Amino acid sequence: MAGKFPEVQGGGSLILAWQVKGRHVLVVGGGEVAAGRILNLLNADALVTVICPSSGLNPEVRHRVTQKQVAHVDRVFEPTDLELINLPTVPLTTGAPDMVLVAIDDPAASSQIWKLCKKLRIPANIADVPPECDFYFGSVHRDGPLQIMVSTNGKGPRLAAAIRKFIAGQLPKGVGNAIERIGILRAKLREQAPEIEQGPKRMKWMSRVSDSYSWDDMCGLSEEDMINLLTFYADNKVPTIGTLKAMRGGVDSEAIDVFDGAFGFCVGC
């Protein structure tokens, strides 16, 4: 029986897509590493507070501050910063931080912040100090809704970047746009069949749709194509892309003469 189950491979990380939209994240530091962290957070729609003297802000972080994309506390970190609650000078904050990212060139201060976070049970990441990280930042490829992260569990960030570039080079052209179109179709299907008991059928039908069309086909799905495609859901069918194209302009699917590959011959009639 044991041979039928996957072997446990310890030493890994639990890779998750952490939803930080609307969450308050504290970034300590304003250099190049902090700039990368801040961009990742803003891309995930987090509310970001940066604690760093103005003299330590690099051009990118300074731009984020100037454009009011992040809140800025112009001084070094203080322990009470882990209890921030709507400071008048930090209008974007919504309370104590849900996450802390430290990117400063001071190992002793970084470790102290780590210990404070542990005491308050706030998830934290101390740049370049794997033992003092609740989570790691992998090398990420982004194409619209598609995100692929490569992690070496803190052992080889440069190698992770190389592997990420290799994987990105193997992906079909337009894959991000195709995923976007399928996401829109899923939302429309949920509106059409919102009942909880429809869940299994929705999932299986969407899987068949994804398996039936090429990336280019999915990229080319128009609003009209999606509406026509959804008419096949009730019968749990998935039409060919040719059928969908033939239905454009209001043509009913039953009126389409689909060639089935059969030929008839009459010899000597």
| 8 Å CB contact between 98 and 25 | yes
Helix 223-230 and helix 175-192: axis angle, to 10°? 50
Closest alpha carbon to 27 in 13, 42, 16, 17: 42
Tokens of 225: 């194509």
Catalytic residue among 74, 98, 128, 134: 128
Q: How many CA atoms lie within 13 A of 104 on its CB side?
A: 23
Q: Please list the residues that pair with 247 across neighbouring strands.
A: none
Long-range contacts of residues 47-54, Cβ cutoff 8 Å, at least 24 apart: 47/22, 47/23, 47/71, 47/92, 47/93, 47/94, 48/92, 49/24, 49/25, 49/73, 49/84, 49/90, 49/92, 49/93, 49/97, 51/26, 51/27, 51/75, 51/76, 51/77, 51/81, 52/28, 52/76, 52/104
Q: Is 128 a catalytic residue?
A: yes
Helix 32-43 and helix 59-66: axis angle, to 10°? 40
Residues catalogued as catalytic: 128
